[in-house]
Structures are given as structure tokens and as C-alpha cells.
Amino acid sequence: MISVEVLAVGRELLIGKTVDTNAHWVGGRLAKMGGMIRRIITVTDSLGEISSALREILSRRPDFVIIIGGLGPTPDDMTLRGVARTLGRRLKIHSEAIQMIKNHYESVWKNQFVLTPARKKMATLPAGAVPQRNPVGSAPGVRLEEGGSVIYCLPGVPREMKAIFRRSVEKEIQKRIGQLFTKTVVMDLEDIFESSLAPLLRQAMRDFPQAYIKSHPKGIREGRSHIELDLAVTDQAEEKSTATILQLAEFLSQKIKESKGTIVRRKGPL
């Protein structure tokens, strides 16, 4: 499996002002492709913090690094400066990025484009960077390579981040992963506690090492325990992933019933 790490930039994510829905969304898109985020690091709008976190991430040599936030025109948007510092690259104005910004402003505002210092800032990229067109906003995304890792820098505005991710990042990751098929089953359980479910899951993990198995306790209601159980199997062959998830689901269903648990609802394979 390829390795992907996310670096989320923004003080608003650390002070309770903004929930990081971007990383949540990226994780879901990767899961559908058969991948997974290995680690998410969140830092404030600080040149030192961005640079330090990126240096740490690159030391693990992930296949992809996705940096989200800090690409705008304001002084606190310093992601690209942090990237340049980490990689030891000069920052320079990129003519293609300027053209992207120009096209956006002229199409949205219908007036003559003026290259202000703030707009020039969004087109100032680390040497070797390739701008990625932002179809719904002004700040281009950025793609770089460093030591075997592909680095994508994306805007923090969710609509813009998603648009660039779909048209650029996702295609490259999907090509690297290849065609994979993930099948899932979700079970809603009652009358069994996690402590009683644990040995059953341990046995299932031993017998189905390729599967993802995760329980989510939902508390006690009307004196009965409630647990959501997520199962997933990914394989290059769709028939194999379907067959394996069905075997796993049947195995656990039988074990849960033997333990006096109740399967209230079962969804899948999806």
C-alpha cells in the first residue's frame, strides 16, 4: 500500500474555530481508492512549524505528502515559504501561475487584471514547482518532488481543495495504486460488550490478516450495549475481495450469536 501523509496548516484548526473537514474528506477519497492516510499533522501559521513538520514527514519518505492551507494572498499564508525553506529551494515568480490567477480574476470579475503584490505572492513558488489549476478559486495548487516523495500543496478552502484534489492529486495517486476493489460490511450489534467482542475480533484478525476490522462502541441505551462493527477487505481482484468479506462477516456473525450478541442490522458487502 502506498504511504500518504497530510500536513494541515492553520491556527484556526488548533483553537477550536474550524473543524478540519479537509483531512476527513481526503481520507475518505483515499479509502475508496484502496489507500489510507498514514498520519495527519496539524500546525499553526508559522514558518518554523511548517518547515519543521515537513522535514519530519519527509524523513519517513512517504510516497505522497498533501499539504493543505496557507496558499492565499495574506501575510499569514506562508506554506510555500515553509516548503522552500525545508527543501532549500529559491522562491520565484512562476509565469504559468500568474496566468492561472489572471484567468480566474478576469473570468469572475470581468475587469482588467492588475498584478498586485498580494496576487504576485500566490504565484511565487519554490523552484521546480508545477502549478495546478484551481478551477474555483484564485490560488493555484502546487506540485513538487523531493527525494522520492511527491508533495502537493492545496488551498485550505474546502471547495478549492476538493476541486484540485479531484483533477490532479487523485488521478496521480489512483495511477500509483492501480485498480483495487474494497468491499465493506457494517454491523449494528446489541447485547454484547466490547470486552466480550474483543477475543472474537482477535481471532478474526488472525484468520483474516488482510482485513480491516474496527469496533465503535455507541454506549448503553435502555440497558443494552450498542456497537457498530466495520469490516473491509481490499484486493486487486473484485471476486476475491467480495468472497473474503462474506467469509469474514459470516465468521463473526456466528461467533457473535454464540456469545449471545444480537446483530440488529447488517449492511453490505458494499
For residue 81, the number of C-alpha atoms closer than 13 Å in the C-beta half-sphere is 15
Axis crossing angle, helix 47-59 with helix 79-87, rounded to the nearest 10: 50
The span from the CA of 179 to the CA of 239, in Å, is 13
| Whether 67 contacts 125, CB under 8 Å | no
Q: What is the pLDDT of residue 108?
A: 87
pLDDT in tens, 135-162: 999 999 999 999 999 999 999 999 999 9
Q: What is the pLDDT of residue 86?
A: 98
Sheet holding 64-68, edge to edge: 37-43, 4-9, 64-68, 149-154, 141-146, 130-132
Residues 114 and 8 in one domain: yes
Q: What is the pLDDT of residue 4?
A: 98
Q: What is the pLDDT of residue 103?
A: 94
The number of domains in the chain is 2
The model's pTM is 0.89
**Host domain of residue 34:** 4-177
Residues 67 and 169 in one domain: yes
Q: What is the pLDDT of residue 188?
A: 97
Q: What is the pLDDT of residue 166?
A: 97
The span from the CA of 140 to the CA of 117, in Å, is 16
Residues 152 and 254 in one domain: no
Alpha helices in 77-132 (DSSP H): 79-87, 95-109, 117-122
Residues 9 and 143 in one domain: yes
Residues 26 and 112 in one domain: yes
Backbone angles phi, psi at 267, to 5 degrees: -120, 130
Axis crossing angle, helix 194-207 with helix 238-258, rounded to the nearest 10: 140
- CATH number, domain with residue 215: 3.30.70.360
Residues 259 and 173 in one domain: no
Residues 125 and 250 in one domain: no
Among 126, 142, 177, residue at a domain's last position: 177
Please identify every stretch of the chain with a pLDDT value under 70, giving residue numbers as ranges.
none
- For residue 85, which of 114, 54, 40 has the smallest C-alpha distance? 54
The span from the CA of 81 to the CA of 77, in Å, is 9
Range 182-216 burial, b when 16+ CB lie within 10 A, else e: bbbbbbebbbbeeeebeebbeebeeebeebbbebe
Rg of the chain over all Cα atoms, to the nearest angstrom = 23
- For residue 105, which of 126, 122, 91, 93 has the smallest C-alpha distance? 122
Residues 160 and 193 in one domain: no
Residue 8: how many other CB atoms lie within 10 Å: 21
